[in-house]
């Protein structure tokens, strides 16, 4: 979300009896704020709405007269807090040219207007922008107003050519078969469009657009503000079972005997690892290995093979398995069969050798395509 940049971290020190100016306190407040913002960017995916800031329409004389923004907290892409402590009404934007949609954004108040050097708690600015694409540097989008009216039309008549005066307001979407008008249509504009063609479907679509356009603008219901996450760095956790007291159990698989009867066969040992205390929210990447003294010269009947793998990965845990194949060993001049009763011998062997399972889980962070450039920090005047 944020591209690293060089900056100077200052530490203020004072001596007994030193006279301080108001600028000293502002500088110290600014440095503490910068460190907090860097913490928000480095540790948290802070961009978005944390709580509140719900936008609702306020009725006016004809349709929506303003929007009401409830109290809440958000963070911009620089990690700065956007705090709204009182309910605020924002008037509708004044558009110099037709716009299909305008977006209400919350942003940090610009320098010179209680900006970077301000110590005020509430440095939130609510404004409308009509850009087709909202960049993270513009602010945190809270709601959208739509000025579009749509009417279904299978095909635009061949004789219809929209006049230049209405070319920016009306268009035809051939893919979705919709006639679209931006803004409020006047009676004179309706009559001018109706005179373009005698096609009944076209005239019906114009009448429908005229009726709908009398109720614009309206809040887009399916618009969703970006949400701020509490923790965004890769979540890493590790752990280990108790050496010599790991709850091993046989690893049983089913086999078909003579294509008729299904019988259980022990192929190794396994242990279930609980990772709920790590707090993973998505399935992490697990890494596990066996710890302890694996080989013992005194036990020739049991010859473990360290062929382990991880199974049944989930946010709450996984299963660590050891494959125990039957082996034939040459000891001196005699052949000895090993691991014939490993499901009974392994538990005692693991206790004697203090075997345990160590693991690491890593939940990666989703990489966002947007990046946020460094803020323009203006110098504070005394």
DSSP letter for each residue of 278-341: G--SS--EEEEEEES----TT-SS-----EEEEEEEETTEEEEEEE---EEEEETTEEEEE-TT
Which of 175-179, 251-255, 287-291, 332-336 has the lowest average pLDDT?
332-336
**Count of CB atoms within 10 A of residue 357's CB?**
21
Q: What percent of the chain has pLDDT over 70?
A: 79
The pTM score is 0.56
Measured distance CA(205)–CA(15) in Å, rounded: 78
pLDDT of residue 379: 41
pLDDT of residue 273: 92
pLDDT of residue 369: 42
pLDDT of residue 351: 84
Using 50, 70 and 90 to split pLDDT, how confident is the model at 300?
low
pLDDT for 144 beyond 60: yes
Q: For residue 46, what is the enclosing H or E element?
A: none
pLDDT (tens digit per residue) in 198-244: 888 888 988 898 888 888 888 888 888 888 876 656 678 899 998 88
DSSP state of 33: H
DSSP state of 191: H
pLDDT of residue 272: 92
Measured distance CA(20)–CA(24) in Å, rounded: 6
Quick one: CA dihedral 101, 104, 108, 110, positive or negative? Answer: positive
Q: Are strands 334-338 and 170-173 parallel, antiparallel or unpaired?
A: unpaired
pLDDT (tens digit per residue) in 31-44: 888 888 888 877 77
Using 50, 70 and 90 to split pLDDT, how confident is the model at 297?
low
Which of 51-65, 183-197, 290-304 has the lowest average pLDDT?
290-304
Question: Per the structure block, which two tokens stand in for 324?
Answer: 């125990």
**Under CATH, to which class is 235-363 assigned?**
mainly beta
Question: Are residues 67 and 106 in contact, defined by beta-carbon separation less than 8 angstroms?
Answer: no
Instruction: Report, as an integer, the average pLDDT of 318-339.
Output: 66
Question: Per the structure block, which two tokens stand in for 281?
Answer: 């929210």
Compare 338 and 186 and report the one with higher pLDDT: 186
- Mean pLDDT, the chain, whole residue set: 79
For the chain, domain boundaries = 22-146, 148-216, 235-363
Residues ≥6 apart with Cβ < 8 Å to 175:
none
DSSP state of 372: B
Distances (CA, A) of 324 to 103, 321, 348: 63, 10, 15
Instruction: Report, as an integer, the average pLDDT of 149-168.
Output: 87
Instruction: Report, as an integer, the average pLDDT of 117-124.
Output: 57
Q: Is 224 helix (H, G, I), strand (E, B) or coil?
A: coil
pLDDT of residue 41: 77
Q: Are strands 88-91 and 356-363 parallel, antiparallel or unpaired?
A: unpaired
């Amino acid at each position: 979300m944020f591209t690293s940049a060089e900056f100077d971290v200052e530490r203020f020190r004072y001596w007994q009896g030193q006279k301080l100016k108001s600028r000293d306190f502002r500088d110290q407040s600014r440095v503490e704020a910068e460190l907090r913002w860097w913490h928000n960017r480095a540790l948290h995916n802070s961009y978005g709405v944390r709580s509140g800031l719900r936008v609702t329409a306020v009725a006016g004389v004809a349709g929506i007269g303003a929007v009401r923004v409830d109290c809440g907290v958000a963070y911009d892409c620089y990690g700065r807090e956007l705090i709204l402590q009182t309910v605020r009404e924002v008037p509708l934007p004044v558009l110099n040219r037709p716009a299909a949609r305008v977006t209400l954004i919350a942003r940090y108040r610009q320098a010179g207007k209680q900006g970077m050097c301000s110590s005020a708690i509430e440095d939130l600015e609510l404004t409308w922008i009509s850009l087709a694409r909202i960049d993270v540097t513009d602010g945190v989008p809270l709601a959208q107003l739509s000025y579009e009216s749509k009417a279904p039309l299978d095909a635009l008549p061949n004789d219809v050519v929209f006049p230049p005066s209405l070319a920016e307001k009306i268009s035809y979407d051939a893919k979705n078969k919709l006639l679209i008008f931006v803004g409020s249509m006047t009676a004179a504009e309706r009559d001018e469009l109706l005179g373009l063609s005698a096609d009944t479907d076209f005239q019906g679509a114009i009448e429908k657009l005229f009726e709908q356009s009398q109720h614009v603008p309206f809040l887009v219901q399916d618009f969703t503000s970006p949400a701020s996450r509490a923790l965004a760095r890769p979540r890493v956790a590790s752990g280990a079972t108790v050496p010599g007291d790991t709850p091993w159990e046989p690893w049983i698989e089913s086999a078909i005997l003579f294509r008729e009867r299904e019988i259980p066969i022990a192929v190794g040992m396994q242990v279930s690892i609980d990772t709920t205390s790590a707090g993973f929210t998505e399935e992490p990447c697990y890494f596990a290995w066996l710890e302890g003294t694996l080989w013992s010269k005194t036990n020739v009947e049991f010859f473990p093979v360290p062929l382990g793998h991880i199974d049944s990965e989930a946010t709450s845990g996984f299963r660590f398995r050891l494959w125990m194949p039957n082996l034939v060993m040459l000891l001196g001049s005699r052949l000895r069969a090993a691991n014939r009763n490993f499901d009974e011998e392994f538990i005692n062997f693991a206790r004697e050798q203090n075997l345990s399972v160590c693991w690491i889980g890593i939940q990666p962070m989703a990489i966002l395509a947007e990046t946020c450039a460094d803020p323009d920090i203006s110098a504070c005047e005394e």
